[in-house]
């Protein structure tokens, strides 16, 4: 590359600055007298751009107060009467903007301190280097762009965040909806709250602006409610019962918080770590197969799933490699279920043993196909284990997808297919039941052409247990997001915080804010007091 071209490359691009070593000329500290944000004793135009970016942190779901945006905005407008004041402002702004870039890219909390067992990739973005390069180039947008998450859902949520934030204080939520006439409101019924209901649906985009409110709950108003129900994980039948009524009364500020919490999780949920991935979103009760090419994400696979009960068998959040598939699997009943459920049921109804196709395996490996008091005692004490043979009654259905993890969670089919049609699908002991096991197997085995659809079905129906190892393991991510945009430019969907993870994360973020605000971003507070 000619010398002049190389110089232009170094000066004009963030990548060029990082590669060409131009950062050596960037004044990054006040220790040697060179300041990043001060020119001729005054805050530079870049400093003013920095505080403007910090002031708009809410656009990314962050809190400007965490970066002292208001205080720094005042400080850059004041005369700096001493070198000490210049250094103080320069240091404070550097710390604030560095923290902002870090939070934007990596998030404000370590997920493992909250609830997730994600194998978070090592930090690859050098926030300090990115900031120094952007300052040298005179363009902070380069640093912000480098720090912004690239997963498409993140960007898709941002306009909805702005839209719901604009609804905070909207007159449509100034008063509560009128109580329902009875336990529910069905299409065609009389309702005193039709005007306010319509106003909310118009504000949310579920009804067109200029909608003419009917005297009764009927026509397009019912259609608007159906659209609202669809976007909130409810049966879109147009009947306003308890669940729909509660969701209609959720204020926009609460939706803003849901979006912000989802954005926070997207900063550290490893959704772009491989070319092909399986992602389960627990509150949505959905599984998706992702195919990733750079920043582009295709979703060729999507299905309903059943997850762990919210009360006491919640499915944990983590990421692991799927390494094997077991066709016509045995179900090895976990010891906790054996003691708490299976043994008591067998004591009440011994015939349940044969009907369910159970057998007992002793510590020596002997398989026992009859039941007696001694065997029940061995099961209760852990001296033996019980398993269910492959077959129509098997709790795992006819296929099991294995991704080894500390919680012994896996995916499997189920004989209880009717549960997939429920709105809320937290019924399992923690494992994930899949609605379309053949489609999932086809996605997982895509790189192994010998596994045709016919061969997959034959293996599932054979009744003989067979485990195959995948030639190419595929990453499985068990994630949690209560706000979602399902397609580019599409509507936003909200889901219930079934496990209370939103509340837990919000508490962690509140602690973060309290900590960083107590740690003075400026060594002595207001710069003017230093003069």
Q: How far apart are CA 240 and CA 185, in angstroms?
A: 5
User: Are 110 and 227 in the same domain?
Assistant: no
User: Are 110 and 10 in the same domain?
Assistant: yes
Residue 509 near residue 108, CB atoms below 8 Å: yes
Give bridge partners of residue 494 from the DSSP assignment.
483
pLDDT at 531: 41
pLDDT, one tens digit per residue, over 144-192 is 999 999 999 999 999 999 999 999 999 999 999 999 998 899 999 999 9
Q: Please determine, for residue 497, whether its predicted confidence score (pLDDT) is greater than 60.
A: yes
Residue 360, number of CB atoms within 10 A of its CB: 20
Q: Which residue has the tokens 């849901």?
A: 258
CATH number at residue 174: 1.10.101.10
Pick the last residue of a domain from 250, 284, 311.
250
Pick the last residue of a domain from 250, 265, 289.
250
Asked whether residue 431 is assigned to any structural domain, the reply reads no
Q: Which residues are identified as catalytic?
A: 412, 431
Let me know if 265 is exposed, middle or buried by CB neighbors in 10 A (0-12, 13-18, 19+). buried
pLDDT at 179: 93
Q: Please determine, for residue 370, whether its predicted confidence score (pLDDT) is greater than 70.
A: yes
User: Are 95 and 13 in the same domain?
Assistant: yes
User: Are 103 and 48 in the same domain?
Assistant: yes
User: Are 150 and 7 in the same domain?
Assistant: yes
Mapped onto helix, strand or coil, the DSSP state of residue 128 is helix
User: Are 107 and 233 in the same domain?
Assistant: no
pLDDT at 19: 36
User: Are 183 and 139 in the same domain?
Assistant: no
User: pLDDT-based confidence at 3, cuts 50/70/90?
Assistant: very low
Q: Write the DSSP string, 81-102.
A: -SHHHHHHHHHHHHHHHHHHHH
Kindly report the three-state secondary structure assignment for every residue of 173-240. HCCCCCCCCCCCECCCCECCCHHHHHHHHHHHCCCCCCCCCCCECCCHHHHHHHHHHHHCCCCCCCCE
Pick the last residue of a domain from 183, 217, 250.
250
Number of domains in the chain: 3
pLDDT, one tens digit per residue, over 13-24 is 443 333 333 333
Of 2-11, 35-44, 89-98, highest mean pLDDT: 89-98
Q: How far apart are CA 50 and CA 68, in angstroms?
A: 12
Residue 12, number of CB atoms within 10 A of its CB: 12
Q: Which residue has the tokens 């001060």?
A: 38
pLDDT at 33: 56
User: Are 103 and 202 in the same domain?
Assistant: no
User: Are 149 and 189 in the same domain?
Assistant: no
Residue 359 near residue 367, CB atoms below 8 Å: yes
Helix (H) and strand (E) counts for the chain?
19, 17
User: Are 13 and 103 in the same domain?
Assistant: yes
φ/ψ (deg, to 5) at 99: -65, -40
Residue 144 near residue 165, CB atoms below 8 Å: no
Per 3-state DSSP, the chain is made up of helix, strand and coil in percentages (nearest 5) of 45, 15, 40
Asked whether residue 503 is assigned to any structural domain, the reply reads no
CB-based contacts of 310: which residues, under 8 Å, 6+ apart?
Answer: 426, 498, 499
User: pLDDT-based confidence at 216, cuts 50/70/90?
Assistant: very high
User: Are 78 and 146 in the same domain?
Assistant: yes
Buried residues in 97-109 as b, exposed as e (16+ CB within 10 A): bbbbbbbbbbbbb
pLDDT, one tens digit per residue, over 41-72 is 899 999 999 999 999 999 999 999 999 999 99
User: Which residues form the domain of 128?
Assistant: 3-154+510-530
Asked whether residue 268 is assigned to any structural domain, the reply reads no
User: Are 222 and 146 in the same domain?
Assistant: no
User: pLDDT-based confidence at 398, cuts 50/70/90?
Assistant: very high
Asked whether residue 118 is assigned to any structural domain, the reply reads yes
Q: Could you tell me which of 289, 286, 356, 279 has the C-alpha nearest to residue 319?
A: 279
Mapped onto helix, strand or coil, the DSSP state of residue 322 is strand
pLDDT at 7: 40
Asked whether residue 311 is assigned to any structural domain, the reply reads no
Asked whether residue 496 is assigned to any structural domain, the reply reads no
């Amino acid at each position: 590359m000619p010398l002049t071209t190389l110089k232009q490359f170094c000066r004009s691009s963030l990548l060029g600055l990082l590669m060409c070593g131009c950062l050596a000329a960037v004044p990054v500290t006040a220790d040697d007298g060179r300041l990043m944000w001060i020119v001729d004793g005054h805050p530079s135009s870049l400093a003013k751009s920095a505080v403007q970016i910090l002031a708009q942190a809410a656009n990314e779901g962050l809190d400007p107060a965490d970066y002292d945006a208001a205080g720094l905005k005042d400080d850059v407008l004041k005369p700096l009467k001493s070198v000490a004041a210049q250094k103080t402002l320069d240091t404070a702004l550097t710390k604030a903007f560095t923290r902002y870039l870090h939070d934007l890219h990596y998030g404000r909390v370590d997920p493992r301190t909250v609830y997730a067992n994600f194998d978070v990739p090592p930090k690859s973005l050098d926030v300090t280097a990115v900031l120094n390069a952007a300052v040298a180039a005179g363009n902070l947008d380069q640093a912000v762009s480098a720090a912004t998450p690239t997963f498409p859902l993140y960007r898709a949520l941002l306009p909805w965040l702005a839209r719901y934030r604009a609804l905070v204080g909207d007159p449509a939520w100034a008063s509560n909806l009128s109580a329902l006439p009875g336990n529910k409101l069905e299409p065609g019924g009389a309702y005193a709250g039709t005007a306010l209901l319509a106003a909310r649906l118009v504000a949310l985009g579920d009804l067109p602006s200029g909608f003419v409110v009917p005297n009764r709950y009927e026509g397009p108003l019912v259609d608007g409610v159906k659209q609202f129900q669809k976007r909130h994980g409810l049966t879109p039948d147009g009947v306003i019962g308890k669940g729909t009524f509660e969701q209609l009364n959720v204020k926009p500020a609460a939706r803003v918080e849901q979006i912000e919490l989802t954005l926070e999780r997207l900063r550290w949920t490893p959704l772009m770590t491989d070319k092909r991935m399986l992602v389960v979103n627990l509150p949505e009760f959905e599984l998706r197969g992702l195919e990733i090419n750079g920043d582009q994400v295709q979703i060729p696979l999507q299905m309903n799933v059943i997850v762990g009960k919210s009360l006491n068998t919640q499915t944990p959040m983590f990421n692991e490699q799927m390494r094997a598939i077991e066709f016509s699997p045995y179900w090895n009943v976990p010891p906790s279920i054996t003691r708490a459920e299976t043994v008591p049921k067998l004591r009440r109804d011994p015939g349940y043993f044969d009907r369910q196709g159970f057998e007992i395996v002793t510590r020596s490996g002997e398989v026992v196909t009859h039941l007696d008091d001694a065997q029940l005692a061995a099961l209760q004490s852990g001296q033996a284990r019980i398993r269910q043979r492959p077959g129509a009654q098997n709790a795992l259905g006819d296929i099991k997808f294995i991704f080894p993890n500390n919680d012994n969670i896996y995916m499997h089919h189920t004989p209880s297919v009717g549960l997939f049609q429920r709105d809320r699908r937290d019924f399992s002991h923690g494992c994930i039941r899949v609605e379309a096991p053949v489609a999932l197997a086809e996605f997982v085995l895509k790189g192994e052409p010998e596994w045709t659809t016919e061969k997959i079905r034959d293996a599932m129906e054979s009744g003989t247990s067979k485990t195959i190892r995948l030639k190419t393991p595929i990453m499985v991510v068990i994630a949690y997001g209560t706000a979602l945009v399902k397609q580019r430019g599409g509507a936003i969907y909200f889901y219930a915080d079934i496990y209370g993870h939103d509340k837990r994360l919000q508490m962690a973020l509140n602690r973060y804010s309290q900590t960083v605000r107590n740690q003075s971003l400026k060594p002595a507070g207001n710069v003017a007091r230093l003069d």
